[in-house]
Structure formats: structure tokens, C-alpha cells
């Protein structure tokens, strides 16, 4: 049985809506074109990953991230939808919403995994390596430490919910 090849595209969004290109040089000391978010389009759906929500799918270019600033043809896949669904299920733990990290486990890492599985290619390095590029600047490393502390505190809150106040327990 022949499997119909499916086009695979990478949708690239700018979360800063142009602001990064305007202010990055003065804030970071280096120009950053965009704060990238990516989604993978295959089988007529856009698959993406976000904090809290985990892996999601929707109509292409209709996510809450606006319109893509770039659509990249990544090739064609012979992987069928059933296999894709199995992969997405397997990736649920790694890309669970609570495991999102702006620097180390974000939407671009998810897109990299999915594109590599579907077509054996990598997403552009300038997108995947943007966090490291920003952290290599003095200001970026300051923000990275601040972000790491915020992420750590969020993870602690998820893993160790606060104990209810005794008064709340007696009222329940």
C-alpha cells in the first residue's frame, strides 16, 4: 500500500511583534531579529508546544501567535497520521505543559523533534539557538538567571502545592 506523501512546513512567528528587532541592540548589545515561536504544519494541522498547555494542534496560522512571519517548506513525509499520533503521545511527557522552559525546553525544541522525525531535517539554527545567543550577552545572562529563578519557583509551586489554611479546611 502506497502512503501519500504529506508536505511538512515550519511556521515561524515573532512573539515580540517586531519589538526585538527595534530594541535588542540597545538592550542586549546585539541585534536579535525576533523572539521566535514555531509550529509544524502537516496533515492540515499546526502542531505546537506552549507553557501550561503542552502539545496542541489547530488550523494552520490560526493560533494565538498571530500570522507567521515566515513559512518554510521542510520537505515531505511518508509517515502516516497514525504513526504521527503515536509519536505525539510519546512526546507528551517530555513536552508536558509543566515542563516548558523558555530557554531549554520550548516550542522550538518541540518543532525540532517533530521536523526531525517527519523529514530527517533540523529547523534553522538561528531559531533553535536564540536563547543561547541571548544568554551570551551580559544583559542576557542576567535575564537568564532571573528567568531560571521564576521557572524554578513555578515548578516548585506545581510539584508542591501550598497547604490549605486550617480555616479553609474546617469550612469545607
Q: Which residues are catalytically annotated?
A: 37, 107
From the CA atom positions of the chain, what is the Rg in Å?
Answer: 19
Sheet holding 54-58, edge to edge: 54-58, 45-50, 36-42, 6-14, 70-77
Rounded to 5 degrees, φ, ψ at 137 are -95, 155
For residue 84, the tally of other CB atoms under 10 A from its CB is 20
Give dist(CA 143, CA 133) in Å, integer.
Answer: 13
Amino acid at each position: 500500500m502506497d502512503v501519500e506523501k504529506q508536505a511538512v512546513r515550519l511556521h515561524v512567528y515573532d512573539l515580540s511583534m517586531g519589538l526585538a528587532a527595534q530594541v535588542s541592540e540597545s538592550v542586549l548589545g546585539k541585534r536579535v531579529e525576533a523572539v521566535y515561536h514555531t509550529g509544524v504544519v502537516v496533515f492540515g494541522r499546526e502542531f505546537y508546544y506552549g507553557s501550561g498547555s503542552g502539545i496542541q494542534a489547530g488550523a494552520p496560522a490560526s493560533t494565538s501567535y498571530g500570522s507567521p512571519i515566515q513559512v518554510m517548506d521542510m520537505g515531505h513525509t511518508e509517515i502516516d497520521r497514525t504513526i504521527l499520533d503515536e509519536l505525539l503521545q510519546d512526546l507528551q511527557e517530555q513536552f508536558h505543559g509543566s515542563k516548558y522552559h523558555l530557554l531549554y525546553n520550548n516550542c522550538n525544541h518541540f518543532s525540532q523533534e517533530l521536523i526531525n522525525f517527519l523529514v530527517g531535517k533540523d529547523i534553522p539554527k538561528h531559531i533553535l539557538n536564540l536563547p543561547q545567543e541571548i544568554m551570551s550577552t551580559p544583559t542576557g545572562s542576567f535575564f537568564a538567571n532571573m528567568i531560571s529563578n521564576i521557572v524554578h519557583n513555578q515548578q516548585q509551586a506545581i510539584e508542591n502545592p501550598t497547604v490549605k489554611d486550617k480555616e479553609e479546611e474546617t469550612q469545607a
